[in-house]
Amino acid sequence: MDKRISINTLAPQAYKAMYALEGYLAQTSISKTLKELIKIRASQINNCAFCIDMHSKDALKNGESARRIFLISAWREATKFFSSEEQTVLEMTEEITLISAHGLSEETYNKARAHFTELQIAEIIMAVVTINAWNRIAVSTHLQIED
């Protein structure tokens, strides 16, 4: 696959805006573990190899186990490896990433309300939205995995 344009080079203000979202997410109350689960799961759904690679490495550096990373895409069948809060975040990630299917369902939203504050729900939604934007940038420009 040939590399395409570099939005960072051609439109640095766009990247600056994306980095501002990352700066916001770095200050949120949701854990690094939840943030990486969100990033990996959305990237899997969007087939973004660059982001799957980056965020799997980041998760490992943050103390995540390789086994849990391997199981993220099958979390519904591997529930004993993920807490109820993590399962809810993964479900939210899937529903928001696949927004055209049915959106964030009432059932999932109510599960989130049982585990998280309204502010944390907003933070989770913004984390999902942000990684989906990065995935679309990386996939559409053929961003390459570095060795």
Our CA angle for 56, 6, 134, nearest 5°, is 40
Residue 5 counted as domain residue:
no
Domain of 116, CATH number, reads 1.20.1290.10
Residue 4 counted as domain residue:
no
For residue 98, the SS3 value is coil
Residue 2 counted as domain residue:
no
Which amino acid would we find at residue 87? Q
CA 140 to chain centre: 17
Q: Which domain holds residue 85?
A: 11-140
Per-residue pLDDT, 25: 97
For residue 71, the SS3 value is helix
pTM: 0.95
Per-residue pLDDT, 31: 97
Per-residue pLDDT, 2: 78
Residue 54 counted as domain residue:
yes
Residue 45 counted as domain residue:
yes
Residue 146 counted as domain residue:
no
Q: What is the pLDDT along the chain (147 residues), one digit of tens a residue?
A: 777 899 989 999 999 999 999 999 999 999 999 999 999 999 999 999 999 999 999 999 999 999 999 999 999 999 999 999 999 999 999 999 999 999 999 999 999 999 999 999 999 999 999 999 999 999 999 998 987
Residue 6 counted as domain residue:
no
Per-residue pLDDT, 3: 74
* Burial of 107 (C-beta count, 10 Å sphere; 0-12/13-18/19+): exposed
